């Protein structure tokens, strides 16, 4: 069997020409020319886009969107009828037992016939002190505190457990009456805070 001819790595002129012809498209342009033409087209489109989309218009569109979102949020907060009361109560041991309370109306409508009652009881359930306030109306986004919602109970040891009971009764925007009560055990710590929230309702939902 004849020996194989040695491999000659010298470039072939015909092979190079054939490869060039293969890279020529039907319109006679090479791939490099096509890439250059595509890049030029993209640059022209980008320039047209920059002329059409002005920074001022973009900023105006963003500001408009922010204003729309603000209107939606303010509509929910101020316009849409909703109900929400929160009673904040603070218990402290300082020469006795001190109780402070504040009622908040976070709803968008006033509530009427509002009664706030805070009582202080020992472990046996005996009432040692009570404070209450009755309001004909509590307007929206307002709160009430003061002397009627402050109480000091003396003559009872601070080394025992007690219970703070808070309750609210009111008439909502739709004319419905409600009442809610909460109980909190105190005495372990010298100072404690509670935030009792009523069920939130939104009309007409």
pLDDT one digit per residue (tens) for the chain, 205 residues: 555 555 555 555 455 555 555 555 555 555 666 667 777 777 777 777 666 666 666 677 677 778 777 666 655 555 677 889 999 999 999 989 999 999 999 888 899 999 999 999 999 999 999 999 999 999 998 999 999 999 999 999 999 999 999 999 999 988 899 999 999 999 999 999 999 999 887 766 5
- Give residue 154's pLDDT: 94
- Give residue 37's pLDDT: 76
Cα dihedral 40/42/48/49 (nearest 10): -160
Neighbours of 107 (CB within 10 A): 23
Is residue 141 left, alpha or beta, with left meaning phi > 0 and alpha meaning psi from -120 to 50?
left
- pTM of the complete model: 0.64
* Cis amide bond preceding 204, omega within 30: yes
**Closest listed residue to residue 102, CA positions, set 136, 153, 127, 138:** 138
């Amino acid at each position: 069997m004849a020996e194989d001819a040695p491999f000659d790595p010298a470039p072939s002129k015909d092979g190079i020409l054939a490869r060039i012809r293969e890279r020529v498209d039907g319109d006679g342009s090479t791939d490099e020319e096509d890439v250059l033409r595509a890049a030029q087209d993209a640059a022209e489109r980008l320039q047209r886009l920059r002329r059409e989309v002005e920074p001022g218009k973009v900023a105006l569109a963003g500001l408009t969107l922010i204003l729309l979102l603000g209107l939606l949020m303010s509509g929910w907060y101020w316009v849409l009828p909703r109900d929400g009361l929160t009673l904040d109560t603070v218990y402290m041991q300082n020469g006795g037992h001190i109780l402070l309370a504040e009622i908040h109306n976070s709803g968008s409508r006033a509530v009427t016939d509002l009664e706030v009652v805070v009582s202080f009881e020992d472990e046996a359930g005996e009432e040692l002190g009570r404070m209450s306030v009755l309001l004909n109306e509590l307007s929206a986004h307002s709160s009430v505190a003061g002397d009627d919602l402050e109480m000091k109970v003396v003559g009872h040891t601070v080394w025992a457990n007690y219970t703070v009971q808070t309750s609210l009764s009111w008439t909502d925007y739709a004319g419905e009456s409600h009442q809610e009560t909460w109980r909190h055990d105190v005495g372990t710590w010298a100072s404690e805070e509670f935030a009792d929230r009523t069920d939130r309702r939104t009309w007409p939902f």
